């Protein structure tokens, strides 16, 4: 299943200031697209999970960046989650964003579907 359909991969790498031992240096920071985040989520096998830190590390390596912006990643997760919840509610195959979202983190409650949706999908996968 190609999740992203109409989305395009418009990820970008920008040099961002980063403090190292009190000195500001440039860091190649990936600003991932929803498509890039969706591809990483699609790669997580059924019944397994990954942390957002692992997802960001994988994206940075894939694109040749030093790091992936956590704020942009969270925004893209929210977009992916919205489409996934809508697909699930419509009976279509949903992108399993719950595999990269910790149900016990505060941000999960602010995602479409909320904590309950994430917990329910994880439970379903364990039952399979």
Domain ranges of the chain: 12-127
Pick the CATH number of 12-127 from 3.30.1150, 1.10.10, 1.20.120, 1.10.3470: 1.10.10
Residue 24 has a pLDDT of: 87
Residue 8 has a pLDDT of: 56
Residue 111 has a pLDDT of: 95
Residue 115 has a pLDDT of: 96
Contact 75, 52 (CB under 8 A): no
pLDDT in tens, the chain (128 residues): 344 444 457 888 888 887 878 888 888 999 999 999 999 999 999 989 999 999 999 999 999 999 999 999 999 999 999 999 999 999 999 999 999 999 999 999 999 999 999 999 999 998 76
Largest CA distance in the chain: 52
């Amino acid at each position: 299943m190609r999740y992203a359909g109409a989305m395009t991969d418009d990820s970008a790498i920008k040099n961002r200031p980063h403090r190292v031992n009190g000195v500001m240096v440039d860091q190649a920071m990936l600003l991932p697209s929803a498509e890039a985040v969706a591809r990483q989520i699609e790669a997580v096998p059924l019944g397994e999970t990954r942390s957002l830190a692992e997802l960001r590390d994988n994206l940075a390596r894939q694109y040749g960046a030093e790091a992936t912006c956590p704020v942009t990643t969270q925004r893209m997760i929210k977009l992916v989650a919205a489409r996934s919840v809508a697909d699930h509610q419509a009976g279509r195959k949903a992108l399993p964003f719950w595999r990269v979202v910790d149900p016990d983190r505060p941000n999960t409650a602010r995602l479409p579907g909320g904590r309950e949706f994430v917990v329910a999908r994880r439970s379903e996968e364990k039952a399979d």
